[in-house]
Amino acid sequence: MLPPDHPPVRIGDIGVLLVNLGTPDAPTPGAVRRYLKEFLSDPRVVEIPPLVWQPILRGVILNVRPKKSAHAYAQVWTEKGAPLAAITAAQAEALQARLGDAARVDWAMRYGNPSIASRIAALKEAGCDRILLAPLYPQYSAATTATAVDAAADALRAMRWQPALRTLPPYHDDPAYIAALADDIGAQLDALDFVPQVLLLSFHGMPERTLHLGDPYHCQCRKTARLLAEALGRPDLRVETTFQSRFGRAKWLEPYTDAVLAQEARTGTRRLVVAAPGFSADCLETLEELAIRGREQFIEAGGEHYAALACLNAGEPGLAMLETLVRRELAGWLR
């Protein structure tokens, strides 16, 4: 029992921090420039020596790309802000309802706001001396999962009294994840007004050199795609795996989504659906790159019917999966 004159200390609670990649604060060139500067200055994201990369970033990219990216963001921006941030917030709110008083759930962005450091500090201030960091990346990459852990470690480094920290592992082949994808994608396929010939599973791309340096991302994407195709159990639907969002002149993981969309249409595919199982929430890459530009690429090359399916987002299959994963990782902490 604390003595009467002891200052109040809030301890004993458990925190869960959902983390996604990030977004600018507004769909404007200035906001996008600030976001890209932070994002593309991370040595985990761009593995080029800073003395070589920073002049290119500051002298060329940050003077050209923000205007183009701001236009893309403006096409998908909502009343609640960036879709990725709004959906991640909704996921946190729904997970909080599922966990009840067992844990306090919050969310953060690796780049942009709210930052990982600010939300870890808020959870600690609220009495959470044990925190589960949950990067919402099913497939592990140094440029996603690892850099989120880096940011959490930097936050802890500034604290005298640190909370205990656990990290949600990648879940690319977890039965709960595969079942959630199969349930959700299957329902969306059934709701289409056409019968697709091809289901394209598009994952975010990475430079090919990351594979040769030991990053398991490519292999984990391929395994997810194989398990998902098996779980869907649709022998009349051809499933292909591609990689999107390549940037710069270096060779990235292949095949490229945009190239495959055009090639499928040119070789006779008339009805195609694309899904993005590596994204836990819809964002610029799914809502603008796949749903808008992907449709244009497929139709212009001769395709007729095209649909971009929604991510798991805050739907029931995804939340059930997330609760399963989080409760598993909190074992021994939950009362």
Residue 121's Cβ-count burial label (10 Å; 0-12, 13-18, 19+) is middle
Is 184 in contact with 318 (CB distance < 8 Å)? yes
Looking at the fold, whether 118 and 257 belong to one and the same domain comes out as no
Please check whether residue 3 lies inside any domain of the structure. Answer: no
The terminus-to-terminus CA distance of the chain in angstroms comes to 21
Q: Of 277, 214, 209, which is closest to residue 246 (Cα–Cα)?
A: 209
- Domain of 165 in residue numbering reads as 13-170+318-329
pLDDT of 2 = 64
Give, for all 335 residues of the chain, the pLDDT tens digit. Answer: 667 777 777 888 999 999 999 999 999 999 999 999 999 999 999 999 999 999 999 999 999 999 999 999 999 999 999 999 999 999 999 999 999 999 999 999 999 999 999 999 999 999 999 999 999 999 999 999 999 999 999 999 999 999 999 999 999 999 999 999 999 999 999 999 999 999 999 999 999 999 999 999 999 999 999 999 999 999 999 999 999 999 888 899 999 999 999 999 999 999 999 999 999 999 999 999 999 999 999 999 999 999 999 999 999 999 999 999 999 999 999 97
Looking at the fold, whether 232 and 252 belong to one and the same domain comes out as yes
Looking at the fold, whether 24 and 75 belong to one and the same domain comes out as yes
Which residue pairs from 209-212 have beta carbons closer than 8 angstroms and sit at least 24 positions apart in sequence?
Answer: 209/47, 209/250, 209/251, 210/47, 210/141, 210/142, 210/143, 211/253
Looking at the fold, whether 220 and 137 belong to one and the same domain comes out as no
Please check whether residue 8 lies inside any domain of the structure. Answer: no
**What are the pLDDT digits (tens) for 82-116?**
999 999 999 999 999 999 999 999 999 999 999 99
Looking at the fold, whether 71 and 164 belong to one and the same domain comes out as yes
Distance CA 333, CA 335 (A): 6
Identify the residue whose tokens are 């299959």.
317
Coil vs helix vs strand at 42: coil
Our count of domains for the chain comes to 2
pLDDT of 3 = 75
Is 281 in contact with 311 (CB distance < 8 Å)? yes
Q: Which amino acid is at 61?
A: I
Looking at the fold, whether 154 and 182 belong to one and the same domain comes out as no
Any residues with CB less than 8 A from the CB of 191 and at least 6 apart, and which? none
Distance CA 334, CA 323 (A): 13
Please check whether residue 299 lies inside any domain of the structure. Answer: yes
Please check whether residue 335 lies inside any domain of the structure. Answer: no
Coil vs helix vs strand at 219: helix
DSSP label at residue 1: -
**What are the pLDDT digits (tens) for 124-173?**
999 999 999 999 999 999 999 999 999 999 999 999 999 999 999 999 99
- Looking from the CA of 265 toward its CB, the CA atoms found within 13 Å total 19
Distance CA 318, CA 15 (A): 20
Q: What is the CATH number of the domain that holds 249?
A: 3.40.50.1400
DSSP strands (E only) in the chain: 13-23, 104-112, 128-135, 164-167, 198-204, 238-244, 271-275, 305-308
pLDDT of 8 = 74
Looking at the fold, whether 247 and 101 belong to one and the same domain comes out as no
Looking at the fold, whether 28 and 155 belong to one and the same domain comes out as yes
Looking at the fold, whether 182 and 166 belong to one and the same domain comes out as no
Please check whether residue 253 lies inside any domain of the structure. Answer: yes
Please check whether residue 6 lies inside any domain of the structure. Answer: no
Please check whether residue 2 lies inside any domain of the structure. Answer: no
Please check whether residue 111 lies inside any domain of the structure. Answer: yes
Predicted model pTM: 0.96
Looking at the fold, whether 103 and 213 belong to one and the same domain comes out as no
Looking at the fold, whether 203 and 249 belong to one and the same domain comes out as yes
Looking at the fold, whether 147 and 224 belong to one and the same domain comes out as no
Cα angle 102, 106, 108 (rounded to 5 degrees) comes to: 155
